[in-house]
Structure 1
């Protein structure tokens, strides 16, 4: 009987699931594999070739940046010809792409062939702003400088600096396209549009005249000057439209909040405002009938049409310019004058 009990105890001690029992000895850290030296570590000539390759790539980047600037001048986008615009975009884009690509390839080649590639283990430790920590950081930078050769490889260092500085030039050059090309200031260019006294308000883009009776409560009309509809693209249609485009809406006259000097700028609840957002110039074309708000889809600026298009939300810093309107003898809507202030973004200090 005792023999049977001992057998039962032995069976109870055996694992019932068939899983292996835990091993007492932990897995040993195999360590890092043996370091393999690169060809540039073994052969000084190979290292010299790698160095020449690197600074050549950096100087290629400089040349590509200069080419991008030259392409901007050789293929002026201001000509507004399809071929010139296509060449401008293509050659400037290629110059910038090769400039950045050469910097990237050169930096990677530098790190893989000449910078130190010794493996090391860095123990984690709490970061403390002690004197010892700061001294250690300085030591790390000094060691990195020594291992990368940044301080002693002057050709690589100088060519990298030249490539980085040159890579900025194409972007700076492109800003020239934002400036006026005939010597006029932006304020003078945008203060005058095609709206004049007696100019008919017409539908965009077909140029159909609009009767006041056709504008129902809550409706919104995209409007251009009648003279604009007769222009061709070669005569500056797009440039003039970008300044003169208007959004016209109608609400009950008692819903309008108007200053005394502007009470005759609207007609029977019909108001017209520039569609050019005063933030960065996007077209403000989304009208919310219940709130009387105009929304700019680019950066979500909102303007209250019932209160002289004042800014109620978003980054725009001034109201939309209002176009004074009335009707002619036949009931068609006409402008009483041009805008009384420049249209467009307020970052040009137009207010």
Structure 2
């Protein structure tokens, strides 16, 4: 059967491929022969400027999506409350804030990466270049070659010529760090003021957390440990855990003559003292009381506080005494708060005095 191959025009790429195949056959018996590089096949973007423009617009679109996702990240951080929970299939019950932050930041970072990959695969040069290995120490001519290669790569990337790509990349890269800057909001004065205030206020009655009944002085025996919360706080409330984490109290009765700290004695009622139940180390609930020494122990990291001496730290990693709540008795004979804690509850935080 005759072939009309010789009568047809042979493209340079096909000729190079035929030569490469012939070379591979020629050196098939030599395992150390240089197999060479496959013939370079130009992409459609290399020969059609309209296709290159389409790729350019696609990369710019990805960078623009990244910018919009970063804006959505910032908006989510401001708009959504931290305790809002919804059901999202197939993830189940999730925090709206956490889900939106993760989704928008993921889209922002993915879009930058996808845009950069698409830019490199469709618009930058894809010609394979063989380069011999050289010594670690670079010779002057090697340094000159590196600089020349860098300049050539910059020119081939079209970074200076394709202004749309360059500007959208700069915009995306400039806006993504704003997501991290927004996280610094929690280090400012706004959250610090929230941490300084609890539900305790003048006239708030102390309620026994076990019986949900108002506490009276006769209910607190010497050597006992009672836990209390502010009146009006109920476990059915949506923000119960957030509020009780700051307002939980330990009630202990000590013989007045055994109280060493003057302020503690003045803020107590007939030897009944009220201290925050939240450890000042990492916020664990304190639950162990030694009535002979009036020491309370945090079970997490063994921080120990002396309730007869202003709840100062006598052992462990806690850095602050437990805050005391000033208490008294109202007209109905119930224990009540005479204000909020004088110091912030729990561990140290930004700008804590």
Q: TM-score, normalised by structure 1?
A: 0.61
Distance of 2:125 and 2:319 partners within structure 1: 54
Structure 2 partner of 1:33: 37
Question: Which residue among 118, 142, 161 is the counterpart of 1:109?
Answer: 118
Q: Is the 8 A contact 1:190 1:344 kept in 2?
A: no
Question: Which residue among 216, 220, 224 is the counterpart of 2:229?
Answer: 224
The runs of 5 or more residues in structure 2 that have no matched partner are 1-28, 87-93
Distance 1:38 1:192, change over 3 A: same
Distance of 2:42 and 2:267 partners within structure 1: 80
Deviation of residue 124 (structure 1)? Answer: 6.2
Deviations 1:91-111 (A, max 9, x none): 565443433332221111112
Deviations 1:203-245 (A, max 9, x none): 16945748323964xx6x55312x13369737x7566434322
Deviation of residue 202 (structure 1)? Answer: 1.9
Structure 2 partner of 1:284: 284
Which stretch has the larger CA shift, 61-70 or 330-339?
Answer: 330-339
Distance 1:28 1:305, change over 3 A: same
Distance 1:350 1:55, change over 3 A: same
Alignment RMSD:
5.2
Distance 1:303 1:87, change over 3 A: closer
Distance 1:87 1:334, change over 3 A: closer
Distance of 1:251 and 1:124 partners within structure 2: 81
Distance of 2:101 and 2:181 partners within structure 1: 12
Distance 1:241 1:26, change over 3 A: same
Distance of 1:274 and 1:134 partners within structure 2: 67
Structure 2 partner of 1:246: 249
2:57 aligned with 1:49 = no
Structure 1 partner of 2:304: 304
Q: How does 1:44-123 map to 2 (within 5 A)?
A: 44-70=49-75, 77=81, 94-117=103-126, 118-121=128-131, 123=133
Structure 2 partner of 1:338: 340
Distance of 1:198 and 1:49 partners within structure 2: 68
Q: Is the 8 A contact 2:222 2:254 kept in 1?
A: no
Deviation of residue 275 (structure 1)? Answer: 4.4
Distance of 1:136 and 1:258 partners within structure 2: 80
The runs of 5 or more residues in structure 1 that have no matched partner are 1-24
Q: TM-score, normalised by structure 2?
A: 0.61
Structure 2 partner of 1:322: 324
Distance of 1:144 and 1:187 partners within structure 2: 54
Structure 2 partner of 1:159: 168
Q: Secondary structure at the match of 1:339?
A: coil
Q: Secondary structure at the match of 1:223?
A: strand
Question: Which residue among 220, 223, 228 is the counterpart of 1:212?
Answer: 220
Q: Is the 8 A contact 2:276 2:345 kept in 1?
A: yes
Question: Which residue among 170, 190, 200 is the counterpart of 1:194?
Answer: 200
Aligned residue pairs, count: 308
Deviation of residue 253 (structure 1)? Answer: 10
Distance of 1:108 and 1:257 partners within structure 2: 70
Q: Secondary structure at the match of 1:305?
A: strand
Deviation of residue 153 (structure 1)? Answer: 2.9
Distance of 2:151 and 2:66 partners within structure 1: 28
Distance of 2:149 and 2:267 partners within structure 1: 70
Distance of 1:179 and 1:268 partners within structure 2: 40
Structure 2 partner of 1:273: 275
Structure 2 partner of 1:14: none
Q: Is the 8 A contact 1:190 1:243 kept in 2?
A: no
Structure 2 partner of 1:7: none
